[in-house]
Each structure stands twice: as C-alpha cells, then as structure tokens.
A and B are shown apart, each in its own frame.
Chain A
Amino acid sequence: MKNTFALALALGDDALIAAQRLGEWASRAPEMEEDIALANIALDQLGAARLLLTYAGELEGAGRDEDALAYLRDDREFTNCLLVELPNGDFAVTMAKLLLLSAYQLPLYTALAGCADERLAAIGAKARKESAYHLDHAALWVRRLGDGTDESHRRMQAAVDEVWPYAQELFRPWPGAPVDPATLRADFDGRVDAVLAEATLTRPADGWAPAGGRDGLHTEHLSFLLAEMQVLHRAHPGAKW
C-alpha cells in the first residue's frame, strides 16, 4: 500500500511537472503545427497526472485531492524525477527530454496495465497509448534534427548529451512497488538506441548520474517552477476555481 501510494505520487509528479514544462511552449513553438502537437502532449501528461494524483490522494486517505497535492506541497515533498524539471532549453533539448521520458513511461505504463492494482492498471492502459504517441513524436523530431542540417545535428547531439545523465535515475530499483522500474531498462535502451542510430547521433556513455528526485532532493529549478505554478492557488486559501 505504502509503495503503491509512493509510486502513484511519483509518476503523477513526473507527469505534472512534464506538463508544466511543455505548457511553457504555448505560442512559442518553431511552427504553429508544433504548437498544437506540444499542447496535445502537455494535455496528455496533465490528464495522467490528475488521475495519478487523485488516486494517490485516495490511497493516502488524508483528504488531499489532485489540487491539494499539486498546489500545496513544497519542492521537498515532490518526488518527480529530475529529468522533467530541467528547463526546456531549445527545441532539441525539449525533444531529447521527451524522448527519454516517453521511452521510460511507455514500458512503465504498459507494465502497470498488467499489474494487480486495478486502478493503476486502468491508468496504465490509458496512458500507454498516449506515451506511444509521445515517443513517436519525439523520435520523429530527433531523427529530423539529428539528420537535418549541420546546425540541427550539433544542437541535437548537445541536447542528448545534456539530458542523458538524468535517465539513470529513472531506473533505480524499487523493490515492492507495483512495477519495479529497474526491470524496464532494457526496453528503454532498445527504443532509445534505435532512434539515436537512425538520427545519426552518438549515444553518450553512462557516467555522472544525478539523482534524488524520488527522495525529494531536486535541482534548483523545481522550486521556481512550483512558485509560478502555485502562486495564484496559494494566494486564495480555500477558494474554489
């Protein structure tokens, strides 16, 4: 139970912070068509976040709903992975982040869809289809940027190099959780390696492995993100919106 709550919360936080970052792109994308695509992905992440946080709140049994969990916790209480809170950077960094995130979420949600917990299974079944689409979208752009112009290749490789270290945290063993993320690494590697190869990009070596998100130890970026996200909600305690 404790593990189920913690996993629902962690995955809900991943999706929420990812949605918040993707939402920052609205009206700023490289093409108007891409504005629509990024908003779609942000909406999917937000939708998954709401389901997961609602369920986490129920499991906790302390009367916290999705908004209480999203708006009234401080950064040390968030358990999202560091990857999602990193700033958007340029479009290449955003696509590199999305590639790693969706290549993690797809096998994770797929495994959840078959887990014993009915609610998590239902959420997983719904979210994995969305993740498949996100992965597809990220892969499509990583291929184009990697195998596009000299400049785009340089930017895409730099982006992959920049975010790669943050992938390792995703697969930290979590014994007792409904799904142990450590079991998903091979699936992730297979998918990501294929995309990088097609994109004529070099897979960075594993080395520096920043971590701590799942324990509430974040980068300096998260509290700024939360300050903006939570400011209005917190300014009117108890108000309905």
Chain B
Amino acid sequence: MYGNDFSAPENTPGGGLLGEVEAAEAALREAATRQRGAAGPDADLEAYFADVIDADQKIEPRDWMPEAYRKTLIRQIAQHAHSEIIGMQPEGNWISRAPSLKRKAILLAKVQDEAGHGLYLYAAAETLGISRDELVQLLLDGRQKYSSIFNYPTLTWADVGAIGWLVDGAAIVNQVPLCRCSYGPYARAMIRVCKEESFHQRQGYEILHTLAHGTPAQKAMAQDAIDRWWYPSLAMFGPPDGDSTHSAQSMAWKIKRFSNDELRQRFVDMCVQQAEILGLTLPDPDLRWNDDRQAYDYTQPDYDELMRVIKGNGPCNRQRMEHRRRAHAEGAWVREAAAAYAAKHTSREKVAA
C-alpha cells in the first residue's frame, strides 16, 4: 500500500509537490539507516535484493539485481533522458521570439535546465552499465523512444505557457513518485530534477495567467493553447492500466509506485482548480466532480492517436529527430577535435583546496 506516498500537500514540509520531493528525500535518508532482515549480500543474492526492496531501501549500482530489473531501468531512464533532450526543441522554438527580455531569460534558463536534466539522467542510466554514446545512438536510430508529447508543435507563445503548466505539470506528477524509486541513482537524479522542475511549472502557469488577464487576443491565444495541449498532456501518463505492458512488474520492484490511471486522475484533479483561477476552460464538456469517487470524471484522451504518435506519425516526429541528428552530425568534428587535443596534451592537473 503506497497511498502514504501522497500525503496531503498541507501536511508535507514545504507544501505541494515540492514538499513531496523533500519528503521523498527525507525518506531516502531515513530508510538508509533502517534494519533489514537477516539476508546479507554474501548469502542468497536474490533474497538480499528482495530484502532491500522490501525495506524501501535503495539498490545501488554495484548491487546484484535481476537482469530484467536492469533492463527495465535502462529503458525507462533512457527514455526519460531522451525526452528531456528532445523536449528542448518545442520550447527552444520560442527563445528568439520571446515577447519580453525577462521572458526570454526565463525561457533560455528553462531550456538549459532540460539539457541539464537529460545529462543527470544519462549519468544515472550509465551506472547500469550502458554508455551515453550507446544510448544516444539508440535514440538517433529510432530504437528508443522519447515522450510523445514533444511531437506536437508550439504554434504560439501561449504554447510555452501551456507546456510549462500542463506538460511539466503532468511530468512532475509522474516524476515525484520516482523520487522514491528503488534504484538509488535514479531516485537521486529525480529528486534533483523535480526540485528544478517546480520552477518550470510555475513559469508556465505565470505566462498563462498573464495572458489570461491581458488583451482579448492574448486570452484567446492562451485558451487555444490549452485546447490543443490538454488531451496530449493526459496521454503522457500512458495507456490505460488494462493495456499497460510494463506496469505490474515495475510496481513490484518499486520502480513505479502508482498506475497510469491513478496518476492521470491526480493530474486532472489538480488542474481543474488551477484552470478556474486562470479563468480558462479545460476542453472537456464532461469534466465534473464525482462525489462518490471524490474525484473528477473526465474524458479519456484518444489512445489511438497516442499510438500513432508513438509509432512515429505525430505532427513533428520527423522534424524532431532530424533536428537531433543534424546537431549530432554537425558537432562531430568538434568532438573529434576535443578528443584529439586531449590526447595531445596530457592534462595539467591543478591541485587545489
């Protein structure tokens, strides 16, 4: 029973999702000191692994782990890293045209953060025995995926706001539980990422709030962006639980803590009130409070569309991959030069305080 992972925001230090990240960090420290069962690493390896997972402690890189656990983590962390790197493009699209210098600075910092998050995550994946080069190649060859949300275009400035509020918001709902993931390097990377992501979501919400309280044209721009991003954001949580292929085993290993549908519901419930304060409408005529469930009923996203986009036929799949491949190919001579220089010059290490 993992329900305690989502304690009510007002009861958590710091409040809100950021508070949950802090709670996860505290839990990580606390669990590290907890006594476990008798199995030591020298005894039965599988029993030891199960013991650590049961005690909510972290598996670390040099621990024994089932091969499927390792593969699942590599796949998940790599896709997450790729998503951060590809995710730079739709927002990067508006850096040059940001409508004020303050917004330009914030957006640049945000896109830069995404590169940073990608690097944290590649580093976490590398602890599982695969190199970043291999992972990047898997992405470029189309053999590993990234979040399908980034295959939608950013058509107006308000899309930058909608990505921050809805896409980053959905990502955070997905990621906060990952701060408690059983694999140590991933959990630690996620704690760092989530703390930084909080700024992203707020900047998106602030953009929309400003637009929604601006000129009629600005308000229309904001509503149009929400109309286009709402359902793709709901689809970010993946297929409905019945159709999800990896969920059960990932839950048992404490890689995943909540089902796709649980997280999607949580996201919807958060967004309704936030949309009201914006004075904007979520594009779902059937969205309404269900007193029995103590949650909002809502219309499911079009999962056939999700599958089409995942398979490569979203509006921007080709463009995003082409962009990434070109940057990689055009940078090759620079990377070669740096390697050649390093080989020529034995680094003069500095000894410092």
Contacts and interface: CB of A to CB of B under 8 A. Distances in A.
Contact of A26 (B88, B214, B331, B344): B88
B85 interface: yes
Given A26-B108, A152-B336, A36 B115 contact: yes
Interface string B92-127: 100111111111110011011001101100000000
Contact of B100 (A16, A31, A151, A241): A241
Nearest to B115: A35
Contacts of A90: 330
A43 B333 contact: no
A232 B157 contact: yes
A67 B99 CA distance: 9
A97 to B, nearest CB: 15
Nearest to A49: B101
Contacts of A241: 99-100, 102-103, 157, 207, 210, 214
Query: What DSSP secondary structure best describes chain A's contact surface?
Result: helix
Contacts of A43: 105, 108-109, 112
B154 to A, nearest CB: 12
A23 interface: yes
Interface residues of B, number: 46
A233 interface: yes
Given A27-B88, A49-B101, A152 B109 contact: no
A66 interface: yes
B334 A91 contact: yes
Contacts of B338: 144, 148
B346 interface: no
A62 interface: no
Contact of B336 (A35, A47, A148, A232): A148
A182 B105 CA distance: 32
A33 interface: yes
Interface in A13-59: 16, 19-20, 23-24, 26-36, 39-40, 42-43, 46-47, 49-50, 53
Contacts of A71: 99-100
A240 interface: yes
A240 B337 contact: no
B327 to A, nearest CB: 5
Contacts of B157: 232, 241
A155 B333 contact: yes
Contacts of B98: 232
Contact of B330 (A26, A30, A46, A152): A30
A26 B334 contact: no
Contacts of A24: 95-96
A40 B96 contact: no
Given A32-B119, A143-B341, A145-B337, A232 B99 contact: yes
Contacts of A66: 101
Contacts of B323: 27-28
Interface in B298-353: 323, 326-327, 330-338, 340-341, 344-345
B101 A20 contact: no
B101 A149 contact: no
B215 interface: yes
Contacts of A2: none
23 contacts: A19-B104, A23-B95, A23-B104, A26-B88, A26-B92, A27-B89, A30-B327, A31-B331, A32-B85, A35-B88, A39-B109, A40-B112, A42-B108, A43-B108, A49-B101, A50-B101, A53-B101, A66-B101, A67-B101, A144-B337, A145-B337, A232-B97, A233-B99
